[in-house]
Structure 1
Amino acid sequence: MGRISAQERRESVIRAAIAEFALKGYHGTSTAAIAERVGVTQPYLFRLFPDKRAIFVAALVRSMEDTRLAFARAADGVEGGERARQVMADAYARLISTRPETLLMQMQGYAAVAAAEAQGDDLIGEVVRAGWMSIWETVHLSLGADADRTASFFACGMLGNTLTAIGLPASAGR
């Protein structure tokens, strides 16, 4: 078995960071915990990423892109707004039931925006807003660019997110 490349190790760090930050948030997560989860030393971790903030941003970007891709793949080739809505909702339900850390990481990102911006750090807010707009655009186009349908889709999704975050099944909101 060959050595793991720096890119593969970086990928492992991002996945470990999503799991750690999802549960403990930015301030509650140590880089030592991330390094331990991956099986590397902290100095090696900092060869892959310049600092904890960069790891958090990479984890946030990945979790938002994973969500966007779940919607895009589900709706690919689907005709009709209602059918697209259903396949995207089903894909998202599968994503958050099999990988709840994806959703929880995004929620940690949303929570981190105000604190970071209060300290003059706009990067996390910029990443969150860009990720959100990318997800919105993917869903919006898949739903025939209907603003009301898109808003309704996300309203139902946020209810599911909230229920999942507090430990209830998303179906509890139906």
Structure 2
Amino acid sequence: MNNLLHFLASTQRGFIHLLRISIFIVMAWIGGLKAFQYEADGIVPFVANSPLMGFFYAKEAPEYQAYKNPEGKTVTKNIDWHKANGTYIFSYGLGAAIVAIGLLTLAGIWSAKLGVVGGLLTFLMSIVTLSFLITTPEVYVPNLGGDFPTPNHGFPYLSGAGRLVLKDVIMLAAGLVVASDAAQRMLKKQN
């Protein structure tokens, strides 16, 4: 047991670099997917309902609900609506920003300054994402009504979208850990 404890303690820096690589993988993958129609369509409820981001779209919430495309399906009238809404242009820009944050965080392996910036941006992005738990109705299980109403709906019952958003709590903490490590490295250089 003592050997395991010594191993874990002596490899902390390597694990923090692994955390940077993990953040990069998530950011590059999710940011890269923003270039695809299904992903751009999928983020509309989050963006449209957000007071921090809703202004990027031409149409106001909840109009988007009538133009949802099922994942992987292309409905021409819905695509046209999303083009007029600015859905795809916004998604391309957001994807590029997310990939850039991932690259800055990864660069923290070699550059403490870039690592601080990447870690703090990861933290800030996670705060924005977590705000969707307050602003986006689709993050909770809906009450479907009917003969058999959903007994467990609304807060705290997270839908698939809500469970995806909640995971950003981990990214929030990871961003602070890698920023803190990079800040320590910068301070050591100053002394």
Is the TM value for this pair above 0.5?
A: no
Q: Which structure has the larger Rg?
A: 2
TM range (shorter): 0.3 to 0.5
Q: TM-score, normalized by length of structure 1?
A: 0.37
Larger helix percent: 1
